[in-house]
Amino acid sequence: MRSLLFVPADSDRKMEKGFASGADCLFLDLEDSVAAGNKQKAREMARDFLCAQRDSSPRPLLYVRVNALDSGLTDADLDAVMPGAPDGIVQPKPLGGADLQHISNKIAVREAQNDLPDGATRVIVITTETAASLFHMGTYVGASRRLAGLTWGAEDLSADLGAETSRLPDGTYTPPYVLARNLALFAAHAARVQAIDTVYPNFRDEAGFRRECEAARRDGFTGKMAIHPAQVPVINEVFTPPEAEVARARAVVEAFAREPDAGVIGIAGEMYDRPHLERAKRLLARLG
């Protein structure tokens, strides 16, 4: 998944527009973008959308962002949308791996109730939306086989901190959010799941958005969340490995396959060792 687009689940128009945006994954949102009075309507609309689109081909993956466990709304969210067989659930504001296990158990019950395959519903976790969560970033390792990816959030974290801003005048993050970003990146790779960068709120600033996408790819993120369909093409472009990188990765994998006992391989005058092989495999795995 390169591009993961949020769409409010209480708007058929926005869900349809998101579906046609070219995003790899849609997050049908029941949380922040839906007012309290619209929660039940959004649940029903999300379920209907899932039912209408799940057999479409090709289509983006369809995840649902439910409300946080401590909101008291999660069970009603899952009861409503699981009959629509979402590809996954987005979990906001978890404290750590124990909260991931908690929601995974809730999902398992509803898979059984709806005759869905056990474990079919994956989970993406938004890891850094509270100050306390940063102290539990290492607990996602082995917490649930459902875990598909870890991402992070700055907006809710800034609210929890009472910060004036999360970004400097040049658009880069202030130090607390650089720390949160880095911890999320490390936590995702430690858990061997996809590392997904957070949203860029100013969807009209394409140049700044592209710079942030390129920085995320450079550092080891393999996808990015979007808040507007206009951001999707940039994400897909930046996070699609260039043909030259793909060709080099294939050459590395093939060379080690020919010499499985080698520690170092020479290709076109350059030396490649086992860490290069692992990086090449992970790049090729992203191609599906």
| CATH number, domain with residue 145 | 3.20.20.60
User: Do 257 and 120 have their domain in common?
Assistant: no
CA distance 245 to 252: 11
| pLDDT mean over 193-204 | 95
State yes or no: cis peptide before 58, omega within 30 of 0.
yes
User: Do 148 and 197 have their domain in common?
Assistant: yes
| pLDDT mean over 215-233 | 97
User: Do 108 and 233 have their domain in common?
Assistant: yes
Split into its structural domains, the chain has a count of 2
| pLDDT mean over 257-277 | 81
User: Do 121 and 200 have their domain in common?
Assistant: yes
User: Do 89 and 214 have their domain in common?
Assistant: yes
User: Do 202 and 161 have their domain in common?
Assistant: yes
Read off the pLDDT band of 280 (50, 70, 90): confident
User: Do 262 and 230 have their domain in common?
Assistant: no
- Last residue within a domain, chosen from 203, 219, 239: 239
Residue 68 lies in domain: 3-239
- pLDDT tens by residue, 173-187: 999 999 999 999 999
CA distance 77 to 113: 15
User: Do 11 and 132 have their domain in common?
Assistant: yes
Helix spans in the chain (H): 12-19, 39-53, 74-81, 97-113, 155-161, 175-190, 206-219, 232-239, 243-258, 274-285
Q: In terms of residues, how long is the chain?
A: 288
